[in-house]
Chain A
Amino acid sequence: MAIVVERKKLGFFERLYLPQIISGLWITLKNIFRPRVTLEYPDQAPVLPVGYRGAPTLVKDSEGREKCVSCQLCEFVCPSKAITVTPGEIPADSQYAFIEKAPAEFKIDMLRCIYCGLCEEACPERAIVLQNNFSINGASRAELIYNKTKLYAEGGVLPDKIMKWKRVKDNAELEGGSH
């Protein structure tokens, strides 16, 4: 069953169109004198809000120790399967040998990453952090699979307030244990 919709007749001023044009131009005029919101990217850099989720990176603690212990929880939680961790053992001659485990290789495929931040949330060591870099580009696909070296170069140092492993070591020395 068809519904008949009554079409209203236009009034005199509506048929003129001029009032509409004038009101539209008034909005344009107002905005000419307002501050600009567009950005001349890439000449101008945007100001990013706190907690911005850019590229995931690996970070070191203030002693320069790599924080990742390759538990692979980020790999497990990653919804786009961008992360591949190859676990490895810390060599016996390292001063951090008591931590036992560190990644032998750590790869993030930036083409697959969706910047959801679940890896950062899952990380028990706060070793993987989404930082401010949003401009990720390369000349080939292979270049955009970041390896461990690249991820640490991007990540830098994140000062650690808790220093969990230092406590473990200090306790072991205090108790005369064999760490």
Chain B
Amino acid sequence: MENEKVTVNINGCNYEVGAGLNVLEACRSVGVEVPFFCYHPKLKVAGSCRMCLVTIGTPARDRATGELLKKEDGSPEISWMPKPAIACGTKVSQNMHVVTDSEFIKSCRESVLEFLLLNHPLDCPICDKAGECKLQEYANTFGRGESRYIENKNVKPKKVMVAGKIMMDSQRCIECSRCIRFCREFIGRSTFSFTKRGSKTEISVYPNSDNDSNYLLNVVDGCPVGALTEKAFRFKMRTWFLKVTDSICGESSAGINVRVWSRNGKIYRITPRRNDAVNDMWMTDSGRYIHYRFEAKNRMSVARIDSSPCDLGYAAERCLEILKLGKVAIVANAWQSVEEMFLMKRLADACGAKIYMISHVGADDGKLLSADRTPNMRGAFLTGLLDSYPPKDFKGLGAAIDAGEVGTVLCFREDLKDFGLEQKQLKAANIIYCGALENNISASAKICIPLRTEFEKNGSWVNRQFRIQKFNMAVQAPENTFADIDFLSFLLSELEGSHFDAPSAEDVRAEMAKSIVAMKDAVHIPASGLPLDSSQFASVDFPEEDAMHYSRQKK
């Protein structure tokens, strides 16, 4: 049924399109643009904007016999609908004829836009949506260019704060109802609604109720105009200055596909990226602000030995000397990319170290915020760092230090003090701390190596569905920081006695494909990710609950 095709004639050419699609999607699938405002691929069809009007015709049948009528030349007779129909609300059928480029359709679009622009304020210079506004784009492409309206525009409430994170401007609203539908269908509770009638219709929020939700900001991405804008991004930067990088959200093991918008090394916002197998077109609000973690003042900026700043290369060499002494324990974390974990495993083998990891578990919301608050716990299983789900603290490491089995702890990112190690245990071992941020143990660590954040490097993570997904470098790393891969491969090359050259994430994946069976295809990862074989981990007790595109039983 899913792969069933029907033939549809669009603008005089026959195309094979999927049966059950609506005309709008069918046109898009063959590269014919149909403009729309209210249609959203992941929401129910409302048909309120009338922007996607097309002329539709179906093969004519004889009323008495029901047989298809033919013209004199043998081609089927088409009975055209007398008025244009909305492409988003019409399903394709066999031999349907669609016209999207006639003068009549052009005049339809022009008139719809003229109606929408009647009461739309022309404040693009101060509107945050400018540059990615559908009304702006379509007015430019399909509009008539000048206004015939001389009356005063309607006045509606502006600058209304919604749930403390959205600025609502009813005057800019074109009544597409996407926000209303999103809240009803995805969040499951109404937040927005239309009030008043006719041209006075305005978008409003339910008063005196808690409208907040961790998914509310998706209405900002959905809003085709600037009626709903994000408070945190308000008047920060115009969108056309921002560079877009495809990335993955590191908030939880859901592995939401995101876009990172940055300019001159500063990240301005994070928005969801469509992936129908993972997050559809949505993301959590908390995940949008994850980059604030690294903007903090406590970013580690320089390498240190015994609390005094030193050269990065020198610190790395000292680190190597200590590792050569033996009795090493490595503390890994599940924010590291698969590539780094692979090198880490080799490093552990090279210096005979045991690997310790802990889990970071929070509440599971059954949607896109999963219980495991690390993005790459599955990667640790695939690369062999783990064989069972890790505990919540480092008690095991503490016991090993007490027993004198561990003399050096090479710790990546984790805060040992917050997770179960006592002061005297921290004193008893040489701590080498590698991470992007300062924390409780970095001040007293023997050696501190500043590393990069996930926005400053390339790599891949394996999400809860065992889907490997690539994240790309969005901003340039500060000077005097090591990319994790470079640091690990430097240590490795010295310990294994090979020549050091900084590998790219892709080089490491190529290496990995040779030794890990499940990763054999994962060298070039497509933008939508690549599902990996997870059958060997079916017995592991992962904490995630059933959620969007994920079910526990499937393992």
Contacts and interface: CB of A to CB of B under 8 A. Distances in A.
A109 to B, nearest CB: 15
A53 interface: no
A171 to B, nearest CB: 5
B125 interface: yes
B240 interface: yes
Across the A-B interface, the 7 shortest Cβ-Cβ residue pairs: A177-B155, A71-B125, A101-B126, A175-B155, A87-B235, A171-B152, A124-B125
Interface string A143-177: 00000000000000000000000001001101111
B310 to A, nearest CB: 33
A71 B238 contact: yes
Contact of A179 (B124, B125, B155): B155
A76 interface: yes
Nearest to A89: B235
Given A124-B124, A171-B152, A177-B155, 14 more contacts: A71-B238, A72-B238, A72-B241, A75-B241, A89-B234, A98-B158, A100-B158, A101-B126, A171-B153, A175-B152, A175-B154, A177-B156, A177-B157, A179-B155
A96 B200 CA distance: 25
A90 to B, nearest CB: 10
Interface in B143-202: 152-159
A88 B235 contact: yes
Nearest to B240: A76
A162 to B, nearest CB: 13
A70 B241 contact: no
Contacts, number: 53
A24 to B, nearest CB: 60
B237 A178 contact: no
B297 interface: no
A134 B396 CA distance: 74
B116 to A, nearest CB: 19
A110 interface: no
B554 interface: no
B236 interface: yes
A101 B235 CA distance: 7
**In which size bucket is the chain A interface?**
20 to 34
Contact of B126 (A71, A76, A178): A71
7 contacts: A71-B125, A72-B241, A76-B241, A100-B158, A171-B155, A175-B155, A176-B155
A90 B154 CA distance: 23
Interface in A21-39: none
A178 to B, nearest CB: 5
B236 A100 contact: no
Contact of A100 (B126, B153, B157): B126
Interface in A90-108: 98-101
B238 A76 contact: yes
B56 to A, nearest CB: 40
B155 A172 contact: yes
A69 interface: yes
Contacts of A168: 121
A69 B125 contact: yes
A129 B240 CA distance: 23
Interface in B100-127: 121, 124-126
Nearest to B154: A175
Nearest to A104: B235
A137 B156 CA distance: 49
A100 B240 CA distance: 20
Given A71-B126, A100-B126, A87 B155 contact: no
B242 to A, nearest CB: 12
A66 to B, nearest CB: 13
A4 B283 CA distance: 82
A175 B200 CA distance: 12
A125 B125 contact: yes
A168 to B, nearest CB: 8
Contact of B159 (A73, A100, A171, A176): A100
Contacts of B152: 171, 174-175
Contacts of A72: 237-238, 241
Given A87-B237, A88-B235, A99 B126 contact: yes
B367 to A, nearest CB: 33
Interface string B229-248: 00000111110110000000
Could you say which of B121, B126, B152 has the most chain A C-beta atoms within 10 Å of its C-beta?
B126
Contacts of A73: 125
A155 B411 CA distance: 58
B155 A178 contact: yes
A20 B43 CA distance: 91
A72 B158 CA distance: 22
A55 to B, nearest CB: 23
Interface string A49-86: 00000000000000000000111110110000000000
